[in-house]
Amino acid sequence: MRAVGIIAEYNPFHAGHALQLARARALTGADAVIVAMSGAFTQRGEPALIDKWARARMALTAGADLVVELPCLFALREARGFAEGGVRLLSALGMVEALSFGCEPEGMALIDEVARCLSDEPEPYRALLRAGLARGLSYPRARAEAAAAYLRLDPDALNRPNFALALEYAQANARLARPLALLPVERTSDYHGLELGKVCSASAIRAAVDRGEVSAALEGVPAQCRAELARELGRRATPRLIDDLALIRLRGMSHAELSAYPGLGEGLESLICRQARRCPSAAELIAACKSKRYTLSRLRRLLPQVALGITHDMQAAHPAPEYIRVLACRRYALGLLGEIKRCGTLPLVSDVARMSESDAMWALETRATDLWGMCTDCAEYRLAGRDYTQKFTVVD
User: Is 287 known to sit in a ligand binding site?
Assistant: no
CB neighbours of 288 closer than 8 A, spacing ≥ 6?
Answer: 275, 278, 279
User: Is 11 known to sit in a ligand binding site?
Assistant: yes
Burial zone of 342 (CB within 10 Å; 0-12 exposed, 13-18 middle, 19+ buried): exposed
User: Is 139 known to sit in a ligand binding site?
Assistant: no
CA nearest 78: which of 292, 264, 301, 260?
301
User: Is 280 known to sit in a ligand binding site?
Assistant: no
User: Is 121 known to sit in a ligand binding site?
Assistant: no
The identity of residue 120, as a single letter, is: D
User: Is 10 known to sit in a ligand binding site?
Assistant: yes
Q: Could you give the 3-state DSSP secondary structure of residue 125?
A: helix
User: Is 20 known to sit in a ligand binding site?
Assistant: yes
Question: Each residue of 33-58: b (16+ CB within 10 Å) or e?
Answer: bbbbbbbbbbbebbbbbbbbbbbbbb
- 284-289: long-range contacts, CB 8 A cutoff, minimum separation 24: 285/247, 285/250
Q: Could you give the 3-state DSSP secondary structure of residue 269?
A: helix
Partnered with residue 324 across adjacent β-strands are 348
Q: Could you give the 3-state DSSP secondary structure of residue 101?
A: strand
Say how far apart CA 43 and CA 67 lie, in whole Å.
Answer: 18
User: Is 15 known to sit in a ligand binding site?
Assistant: yes
User: Is 13 known to sit in a ligand binding site?
Assistant: yes
User: Is 39 known to sit in a ligand binding site?
Assistant: no
User: Is 187 known to sit in a ligand binding site?
Assistant: yes
User: Is 275 known to sit in a ligand binding site?
Assistant: no
Query: Are 16 and 24 in contact, with CB atoms under 8 Å apart?
Result: no
DSSP conformation letters of 167-202 = HHHHHHHHTSSSPPEEEEEE-SS-TT----SSS--H
Say how far apart CA 221 and CA 175 lie, in whole Å.
Answer: 35
Q: At what angle do helices 282-289 and 268-276 cross, to 10 degrees?
A: 140
- Opening angle at CA 379, ends 373 and 383, nearest 5: 55
User: Is 168 known to sit in a ligand binding site?
Assistant: no
User: Is 318 known to sit in a ligand binding site?
Assistant: no
Q: Using DSSP, how many helices (H) and how many strands (E) does the chain show?
A: 21, 8
Say how far apart CA 169 and CA 343 lie, in whole Å.
Answer: 23
User: Is 14 known to sit in a ligand binding site?
Assistant: yes
What are the binding residues for ATP? 7-20, 102, 162, 187
What are the binding residues? 7-20, 102, 162, 187
